[in-house]
């Protein structure tokens, strides 16, 4: 039981990050009807931008010293005598990193926003009105472009990035088993859930949300209502790429940074389809259940089996519910 709880919590934590990634795919789909196969690669760019602003730039000679490591005297005082991995020590070590973490996040979010806008302008806008197939394949082409560019820009150097939150270990006993949790993971989960909730509220209850929903339902009619559809499109892409940047930063701290981060996009795509492409709630449920299922598989069957959990799950769901758990059924006009 204790073990179960441990892995359930682990699953929920990764589920929340899946949800954060999924929100980008769903938002872009809702607004533009494009399913972004390359979303994972936007996230990878977010991760690399975070790395650039949180590690590379503070490490430059011209960068002020406090940027790389902010250590006022009172902090050094407190740090003295604490073990390397003591809880307070971890918090203090994190605080020293705050300037570069902030720079990293701001840099990642703004660069990714620009990237999202550029992608939307150059590749997606000409696609308005094209077939589903063309849309899918353009994003598939985008995968190659993004992943190639990433390896051109960031040489494949081993990279380590600072955690967004203090990574204090949390240990407690439950049902006779020791439960281990990372502080940073819990904060990451909260960040992911807050962003997710914020976006859903925005779409449900604001006038901007009405524009998105109207565009989702009928692009050209939305246009003829005076809603600037291109603006909605580009906002959706910016929304996706900025949430992707946060997700990328989190993934970079959690799993290490590498071009293979892009592959996350595919499992999340499976999750999104499982939940129903246009349903935030469905995707949330799917993300959380896949997260938990994956953790359980990891526990019982080992790492490599966990990798195919989202794919098996989506196939099972699609066979019984062709439009996902909560997806809108497309009404066919005959």
In the list 114, 118, 160, 198, the residue contacting another protein (rule: CB under 8 A) is 160
CB of 299 to another protein, least distance (A): 7
Considering the rule CB under 8 A, would residue 182 count as an interface residue with another protein? yes
For position 79 contacting another protein by CB under 8 A, the verdict is no
Could you tell me which residues come within 8 angstroms of residue 304 by beta carbon, excluding any fewer than 6 positions away? none
The answer to whether residue 110 forms part of the interface with another protein (CB under 8 A) is: no
Separation CA 116–CA 293 (nearest Å): 32
Kindly tell me which of 10 and 241 has the beta carbon lying closer to another protein. Answer: 10
| Terminal-to-terminal C-alpha distance of the chain | 54
Tokens of 320: 């019984």
By CB under 8 A, tell whether 1 contacts another protein: no
- The pairing of beta strand 169-174 with beta strand 177-182: antiparallel
Our CB check for another protein shows the closer of 110 and 174 to be: 174
Is 323 among the residues that bind another protein (CB under 8 A)?
yes
Report how far residue 291's alpha carbon sits from residue 299's, in angstroms, rounded to the nearest whole number: 12
Nearest approach in angstroms of CB 261 to another protein is 6
Catalogue the long-range contacts made by 143-148 (C-beta closer than 8 Å, 24 or more residues apart).
143/37, 143/38, 143/40, 143/41, 143/262, 146/38, 146/41, 146/42, 146/44, 146/45, 146/262, 147/41, 147/44, 147/259, 147/262
Contacts (CB under 8 A) with another protein, residues 246-275? 251, 254-256, 258-261, 263-264, 266, 269-270, 273
Q: Which of 27, 32, 112, 147 binds another protein (CB under 8 A)?
A: 147
SS3 170: strand
Question: Quick one: which of 136, 174, 187, 293 contacts another protein (CB under 8 A)?
Answer: 136
* Among the residue ranges 72-80, 82-90, 107-115, 191-199, the one whose residues contact another protein (CB under 8 A): 82-90
User: For residues 330 and 290, is the Cβ–Cβ distance under 8 A?
Assistant: no
Q: Which stretch in 71-79, 109-117, 163-171, 195-203 sits in contact with another protein by CB under 8 A? A: 163-171
From 126, 175, 194, 198, residue interacting with another protein (rule: CB under 8 A): 126
Q: Binding of another protein at residue 175 (CB under 8 A)? A: no
Between CA 238 and CA 110 the distance in angstroms is 9
Instruction: Verify binding: residue 88, another protein, rule CB under 8 A.
Output: no
For residues 278 and 235, is the Cβ–Cβ distance under 8 A?
no
Smallest gap from Cβ 26 to another protein, in A, equals 13
């Amino acid at each position: 039981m204790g073990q179960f709880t441990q892995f359930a919590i682990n699953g929920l934590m990764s589920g929340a990050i899946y949800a954060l990634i999924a929100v980008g795919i769903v938002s872009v789909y809702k607004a533009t009807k494009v399913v972004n196969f390359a979303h994972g690669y936007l996230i990878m760019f977010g991760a690399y931008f975070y790395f650039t602003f949180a590690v590379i730039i503070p490490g430059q000679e011209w960068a002020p010293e406090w940027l790389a490591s902010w250590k006022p005297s009172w902090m050094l005082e407190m740090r003295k005598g604490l073990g390397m991995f003591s809880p307070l020590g971890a918090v203090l070590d994190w605080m020293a990193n705050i300037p570069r973490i902030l720079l990293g996040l701001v840099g990642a979010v703004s660069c990714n926003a620009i990237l999202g806008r550029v992608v939307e302008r150059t590749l997606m806008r000409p696609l308005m009105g094209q077939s589903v197939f063309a849309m899918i394949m353009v994003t598939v082409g985008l995968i190659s472009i993004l992943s190639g560019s990433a390896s051109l820009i960031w040489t494949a150097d081993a990279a380590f990035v600072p955690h967004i939150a203090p990574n204090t270990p949390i240990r407690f006993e439950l049902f006779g088993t020791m439960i281990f949790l990372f502080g940073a993971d819990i904060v990451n989960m909260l960040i992911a859930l807050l962003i997710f909730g914020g976006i859903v509220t925005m779409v449900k209850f604001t006038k901007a949300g009405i524009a998105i929903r109207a565009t989702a339902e009928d692009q050209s009619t939305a246009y003829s209502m005076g809603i600037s559809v291109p603006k909605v499109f580009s906002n959706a892409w910016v929304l996706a790429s900025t949430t992707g940047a946060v997700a990328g930063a989190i993934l970079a701290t959690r799993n290490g940074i590498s071009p293979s981060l892009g592959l996350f996009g595919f499992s999340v795509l499976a999750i999104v389809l499982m939940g129903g492409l246009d349903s935030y709630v469905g995707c949330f449920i799917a993300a959380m259940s896949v997260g938990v299922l994956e953790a359980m598989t990891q526990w019982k069957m080992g790492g490599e089996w966990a990798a195919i959990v989202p794919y098996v799950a989506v196939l099972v769901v699609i066979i019984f519910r062709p439009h996902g758990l909560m997806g809108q059924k497309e009404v066919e006009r005959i």
